[in-house]
Structure 1
Amino acid sequence: MDVLIVGAGAMGTWFGRATDASVTFADVDADAAAAAAERIGPDAETTALEGTDSYDVVCLAVPMTHVVDAVADHADRAERAIVDVSGVMGPPLEAMATHAPALERASLHPLFAPERAPGSIAVVRDESGPAIDALLEALDARGNDLLGTTATEHDDAMESVQAATHAAVLSFALAADSVPEGFETPIYEGLRTLTEQLTEGTPRVYADIQQTFAGADTVADAAATVADADAAELESLYREAARQWQPERTDDDAEMQAETNDDTTNETTK
């Protein structure tokens, strides 16, 4: 099976390594395509982005803000199947159904940075068949965990998993200061670690996520609510958060913990 990968960035290169197929790269940057092919091995090739050559499978590994246009531009180069690894699922699958209605179709979202592979991969099989099955079997054989889902379920989840989460961590990074050694709390340390991990990434990718998925506004609204709350309202907000994230914990448990904390504070201040 031969696969055309449109997009020679980190995700396209990952897909080229992860699939047991003959791989050809096409990219707006011909040098990037050549570099990706070299990283895969001597059997990988390159081709012109505007080429007319056809392949068993076309994989769109382009930014999520461009994937719909990429489907329209390259669907006719696929003979058996078309897939994407852009990170959003609803729009590309709709475009595939429009421009490649007779082909096998799937959307894949690796839920990890390529350098941290293998990991969980969200999968929507819009129109499955032997070519899609072979690709997924190759990914599974490399230790990835394939998570079957729907486009709606996935894209709704990404509002929290990506857009809101990234907005919250970035907001902490911009609002908080580095503190002298020894002053760190476990929560501060955890957020600092997340900040370091977030800022290792590519800014354009995070910008695309914010442009594609809602979620940042809810973080801003929540922060404003916290900033404006009085002491009683803050306690209520903490209890609301506990009910959401620790539903097994009762208000009595929280009160007992608060009393324990008060006792500990009193002892240390005597």
Structure 2
Amino acid sequence: METLVVGAGAMGRWFARTVDGDVAFADADPDAADAAATAVGGRSVPLDADGRFDAVCVAVPISAGEAAIAEHAPKATRAVLDVTGVMAGSVAAMAEHAPDAERASLHPMFAPERAPGRVAVVRDAAGPVTDAVLDDVRAAGNEVYETTPTEHDAAMETVQAGAHAAVLAFALAADDVPEGLRTPVYDGLADLASQVTGNEPRVYAEIQETFDGAEAVADAARRIADADAEAFAALYEAAGGTADAAGGDG
């Protein structure tokens, strides 16, 4: 089986390394496609090539996802997948442009260099190809979490947009302090800020543009800043209940 991976960035390379079979890379930057093919194995093809492939995986930024699916999904003879990170629009676009193919949307919940981890999956039209892909994902040590487009995209408002906004706001607001005056909470937030800011800013910008969540964080910070002692205590208790619910049994 040969898969066309549209997008030769980190996520496209992760997919190509994880899934068994031959791979062809196509990218708006031909040099990037060549480099990915050299690094991962396989070949590079022009982005506008008319070839047909057993499967097509779209691994482009969120803002380009639906257009890329529309352009490249018809090249698949068996299955179309995406790893763009947003599911409602991607699943709808795959259904529209590849109605007779197997279809699945995957969202690795980690940066590729931190693999393995949890991979959210919507199997919109399951079959032997998508089943084999998920078997390969599991074989690489990942946990597969099956979800729906609505559940996934709603969760990303908190898990990505809200979380990133909170961490970045802390980093922007924090003053540098002597090491001897730092607390475990400060160190934990500083570590998170280093983790978030050590990646490509464009990716985080697209998450903020796609998912709501930052405004809720800003509103919560303002309520804390404006609260008197009694109101703060209420907010503190509410935050503790939210944290307990988010943490589950773990």
Equivalence for 2:36:
36
Aligned residue for 2:248? none
2 CA distance for matches of 1:118 and 1:245? 25
Per-residue CA distance 1:1-32 (angstroms, 9 max, x = gap)? 11000000000011111110100000000000
Task: Tell me which residue corresponds to 1:179.
Answer: 177
Query: In structure 2, what is the equivalent of residue 97 of structure 1?
Result: 95
Question: 1:243 offset after TM fit, Å?
Answer: 2.1
Aligned counterpart, 1:55: 53
Separation in 2, partners of 1:120, 1:181: 34
CA distance in structure 2 between the aligned counterparts of 1:204 and 1:106, rounded to whole angstroms? 25
SS in 2 for 1:246: helix
1:153-172 alignment runs, 5 A limit: 153-172=151-170
Separation in 1 of the partners of 2:24 and 2:159? 32
User: Is the aligned partner of 1:202 residue 2:194?
Assistant: no
Match of residue 113, structure 2, among 112, 115, 119: 115
**Residue 132 (structure 2) aligns with:** 134
- After TM superposition, give the deviation of residue 76 of structure 1 in Å: 1.1
Q: CA deviation at 1:60?
A: 0.2
Cα distance in structure 2, aligned partners of 1:144 and 1:243: 30
Spell out structure 1 runs of 4+ moving beyond 6 A. none
Distance in 1 (CA, whole Å) between partners of 2:244 and 2:45 is: 53
The normalised TM-score by structure 1 is 0.89
Q: Select the residue among 69, 72, 83 that pairs with 1:71.
A: 69
- Following TM superposition, by how much is the alpha carbon of 1:246 offset from its aligned partner in structure 2, in angstroms? 2.9
User: 1:11 aligns to what?
Assistant: 11
Is 1:20 matched with 2:20?
yes
Counterpart in the other structure of 2:190: 192
Determine the C-alpha separation between the residues in 2 that align with 1:60 and 1:144. 20
* 1:150 equivalent in structure 2: 148
**RMSD across aligned positions (CA):** 0.8
Q: 1:2 is matched by which residue type in structure 2?
A: E
Instruction: Quote how far apart the aligned CAs of 1:129 are.
Output: 0.4
Q: CA separation in 1, counterparts of 2:244 and 2:52?
A: 52
Deviations 1:145-175 (A, max 9, x none): 1111111111111110000000000000000
Aligned pairs for 1:200-239 (under 5 A) are 200-239=198-237
What do residues 121-157 of structure 1 show as CA deviations (whole Å, max 9, x unaligned)? Answer: 0010000001111111111111111111111111111
Identity value in percent: 56
What one-letter code is carried by the residue in structure 2 that aligns with 1:139?
Answer: V
CA distance in 1, matches of 2:244, 2:26: 48
Aligned to 2:62, the other structure's residue is in SS state coil
Matched, 1:2 2:2: yes
Q: Provide, for residues 50-102 of structure 1, a one-character-per-residue CA deviation record: whole Å limited to 9, x for no partner.
A: 11001000000000111000011111111000000011100010011111111
Shift of 1:189: 0.8
- Letter in structure 1 aligned against 2:200: T
**Offset, 1:240:** 1.1
- Give the partner amino acid of 2:120: A
Letter in 1 for 2:147: T
- Partner residue of 1:254? none
Amino acid at match of 1:86: T
CA–CA separation in structure 1 for the residues paired with 2:154 and 2:34: 36
Which has the larger Rg? Answer: 1
